Amino acid sequence: MTYAVEMLGISKRFPGVLANDNIDFRLEKGEIHALLGENGAGKTTLMNILYGLYRCDAGRVLIGGKEVHLTSPADAIANGIGMVHQHFMLIPVLTVAENIVLGTETTRYRFFLDRKSAVERIRALSKEYGLDIDPTAYVKDVAVGTQQRVEIVKALYRHADILILDEPTAVLTPQEADEFFGIMRSLARQGKSIIFITHKLKEVFAVADRITVLRDGEVVGTTTPKEATPETLALMMVGREVEFIVDRGVSNPDGDVLVVRDYSVMSDRRTMAVDGVSFSVRAGEIVGVAGVEGNGQTELAEALTGLRPVHSGQVSVDGKDVTSATPRRMVEAGVAHIPEDRQKYGLVLSYPVADNLSLCTYYQPPFAKGSILDDTAIMSNARSLIKEYDIRTPGPLSRAGTLSGGNQQKAVVARELSRPIRLLIAAQPTRGLDIGSTEFIHNKVIAARTSGVAVLLVSAELDEIMALSDRIAVMYKGKIIGIVPAAEATREKLGLLMAGVKAGE
């Protein structure tokens, strides 16, 4: 058989890390091949080698049976390979069409960009592959799911027959993810060969033809969805049995910690994103906020943590008014925040991991003595948290920007949960995490609740909301349309509320 891609004996070492260890990987023509593994297992490194971003230390790459030497993305593109990265490579202030043709522009009369031809070809590609995009829209104005489609069209525009999709659903809603799987199947039916990097077992069973599992830089095995079960794949990924059902235990809530009254927040477009909501979260309780993304959850979490101005209303923590508090004041009030966008709000990517792990309280003991930072305490804290939270990094002095997305998330969670807190506001706390890390973080959140911390959990994962929450508030068009005790919550009941249908209507 002639494979679309063969990677034979691939090894890649970074300082202190053997990322890929003698890996063999084969992609058949017209198949969706899932590359499954924990954060830091070596999935993205292997695909970065295939896309020419890294050079392997050992091994060979064959495309269509012929050995190739991929020293840059240009080499990969020339060999029909396109890659859609986890964090999109788009320029917000340019149009969709301008982003797609960037670097491959065609001109008229030698000097003028031929926008019309580009737009026409993009529309044709969009229609051919069922990708609904407007070439004339600005990227900054389109939804995340649409940006994902733009990245795919960009690869197809460059005549890619092999598509590498790196954690493509990490920033998508469940509805957008389902639509995306349909697009993947359509592409495969039309002859495209797809490598699908993920750590989500449900997605593998939903869309993959074959599955290769990596662990610690090595291939554990290759199987199919028919031959595998969630339990066997989890064992292959993590090397141990994983509990899929969260033991929430019994909640014993005390007095109110967070009280929100008639709270309104504007969106970036100056529309009312949060519209007069009122609720409370008690000590020792998890209140989940469910809803289709774009109904005000993001703005609510950002405003409550001082990252977005409040339009009207009042917020108190432990009886103290913090309505217009700065992020630092919220930290000093005992509020921890796991932000939805870890790169924008959770980390300073150019700083070492050690500095990021003490970022909230670096100016306080034990990290500072007066105005002087205590490097010994900062490093000791970092080593402890790296070990406890299994943050895959060569060391505390590695830049946070060099970590995989999942390990960046674990660094944020480690910092926020490792200090004394009264309230945890967690927005998408397990986004981008593998099943082992998700299990670990869920247990940490439950432990925080059990110790008396009030938890406000915002998540697009309905399973996560239902598994962890004691009460569930559903947001629709900026309002809390209903609050349901966890014991009474069903997917059907919550789904109706998420669609704006109140009980009895």
In 3D, which of 333, 275, 276, 341 has the Cα closest to residue 302?
A: 341
Query: What distance, in Å, lies between the first and last C-alpha atoms of the chain?
Result: 59
Q: How far apart are CA 272 and CA 425, in angstroms?
A: 21
Residue 200 has a pLDDT of: 80
Residue 111 has a pLDDT of: 57
Helix and strand element counts for the chain (H, E) = 16, 24
CB 440 within 8 A of CB 385: no
Residue 294 has a pLDDT of: 79
In 3D, which of 150, 148, 118, 151 has the Cα closest to residue 134?
A: 150
Q: What is the DSSP letter of 178?
A: H
Tabulate helix, strand, coil % of the chain (nearest 5). Answer: 35, 25, 40
Q: What is the DSSP letter of 140?
A: G
Q: How far apart are CA 117 and CA 114, in angstroms?
A: 6
CB neighbours (10 Å) of residue 16? 9
The segments of the chain whose pLDDT lies below 70 read: 104-114, 170-175, 244, 432, 503-505
21 burial level (CB within 10 Å; 0-12, 13-18, 19+): middle
Q: Indicate the CATH number of 5-238 among 3.40.50.2300, 3.40.50.300, 3.90.1150.10, 3.40.366.10.
A: 3.40.50.300
CB neighbours (10 Å) of residue 301? 26
Residue 84 has a pLDDT of: 86
Domain 5-238 and domain 243-334+420-505, same fold? Reply is yes
Q: Which residue bears the tokens 């995340």?
A: 144
Q: How far apart are CA 303 and CA 256, in angstroms?
A: 19
CB 161 within 8 A of CB 193: yes
CB neighbours (10 Å) of residue 115? 17
Residue 31 has a pLDDT of: 97
My answer on whether omega of the bond before 230 falls inside 30° of 0, hence cis, is no
Q: How far apart are CA 443 and CA 446, in angstroms?
A: 5
Q: How far apart are CA 41 and CA 24, in angstroms?
A: 15
As beta bridge partners, residue 7 has: 25, 61
Tokens of 379: 């490093």
Assign 111 to helix, strand or coil.
Answer: coil
Residue 104 has a pLDDT of: 66
Q: Which residue bears the tokens 């320029």?
A: 91
Residue 108 has a pLDDT of: 60
Q: How far apart are CA 442 and CA 467, in angstroms?
A: 9
Tell me the domain boundaries of the chain: 5-238, 243-334+420-505, 355-418
Assign 286 to helix, strand or coil.
Answer: strand
- Looking at domain 243-334+420-505, its CATH class is alpha beta
Tokens of 96: 């969709």
Residue 203 has a pLDDT of: 87
